């Protein structure tokens, strides 16, 4: 292949491993990678170091670098998620990430209803109204809708005041961006999902924890029904 940079080597090798093209258990040598990518040993070492940090590779002396089993990877890493979304199993990755949201986001909404300050509650209502306006106008697949959607969900996770919930903001953002870039976000959003975004924001603003949790669960379940893979 054409001479590559560190970034392009990392992304190409990352996608190949994440997609299973380079299967778990495969053993690679620095010399093989250097020849394949036509780059210096330093560039290869840098890419391997990043993949080791994500637990995708492990180096062993006199053996080389071995591709780890996927369950050992840093599976919430935003870059790894992006690589998976660039591969043939993007649909399954979106489903898995939506299932993760279903496990976390309703509780985060309950906690935001309990802990958020007035400014955060007002901001969430504004974002919900923006999503409603764009969705009603058939712009659910627009960049503006995506930006507002990411901000909406990030705010719920942050204002939950649970730092573990807040730590998956990039994960959720990558999932939403992946749906958008793969054409899976409809111009006219599923009404049940959109209506429950608005309902969740109102219940959070009112401090109604039970209703906020229930409305959030309904909109994530609606999204899951949209992206479900047979």
| Average pLDDT of span 91-103 | 94
pLDDT in tens, 101-148: 999 999 999 999 999 999 999 999 999 999 999 999 999 999 999 999
**Percent of the chain's residues with pLDDT above 70:** 97
pLDDT computed for residue 179 by the predictor? 87
User: 65 with 109, same domain?
Assistant: no
Range of the domain at 57: 6-72
Residue 100 sits at the vertex; the CA angle it makes with 95 and 101, to the nearest 5 degrees, is: 95
Q: Assign residue 138 the CATH number of its domain.
A: 1.20.120.530
Is the Cβ–Cβ distance between 51 and 17 less than 8 Å? yes
| Average pLDDT of span 201-214 | 98
Q: Structure tokens of 151?
A: 């901000």
Is 167 part of any domain?
yes
User: 149 with 195, same domain?
Assistant: yes
| Average pLDDT of span 70-84 | 95
Per-residue confidence band for 229, with pLDDT thresholds at 50, 70 and 90: low
Per-residue confidence band for 181, with pLDDT thresholds at 50, 70 and 90: confident
Per-residue confidence band for 98, with pLDDT thresholds at 50, 70 and 90: very high
Per-residue confidence band for 80, with pLDDT thresholds at 50, 70 and 90: very high
Is 94 part of any domain?
yes
């Amino acid at each position: 292949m054409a001479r590559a940079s560190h970034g392009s080597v990392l992304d190409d090798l990352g996608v190949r491993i994440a997609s299973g093209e380079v299967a778990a258990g495969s053993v690679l040598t620095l010399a093989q990678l250097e020849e394949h990518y036509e780059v210096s040993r330093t560039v290869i070492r840098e890419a391997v170091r990043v993949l080791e940090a994500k637990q995708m590779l492990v180096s062993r002396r006199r053996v080389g670098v071995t591709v780890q089993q996927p369950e050992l990877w840093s599976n919430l890493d935003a870059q790894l998620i992006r690589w998976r979304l660039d591969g043939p199993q993007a649909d399954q990755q979106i489903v898995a990430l939506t299932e993760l949201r279903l496990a976390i986001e309703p509780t985060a909404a309950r906690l935001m209803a309990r802990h958020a300050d007035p400014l955060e509650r007002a901001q969430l209502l504004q974002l919900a109204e923006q999503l409603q306006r764009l969705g009603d106008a058939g712009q659910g697949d627009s960049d503006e809708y995506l930006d507002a959607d990411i901000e909406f969900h990030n705010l719920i996770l942050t204002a939950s005041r649970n730092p573990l919930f807040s730590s998956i903001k990039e994960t959720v953002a990558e999932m939403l961006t992946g749906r958008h870039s793969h054409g899976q976000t409809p111009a006219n959003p599923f009404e049940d999902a959109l209506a429950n975004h608005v309902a969740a924001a109102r219940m959070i603003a009112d401090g109604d924890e039970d209703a906020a949790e229930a409305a959030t669960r309904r909109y994530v379940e609606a999204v899951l029904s949209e992206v479900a893979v047979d």
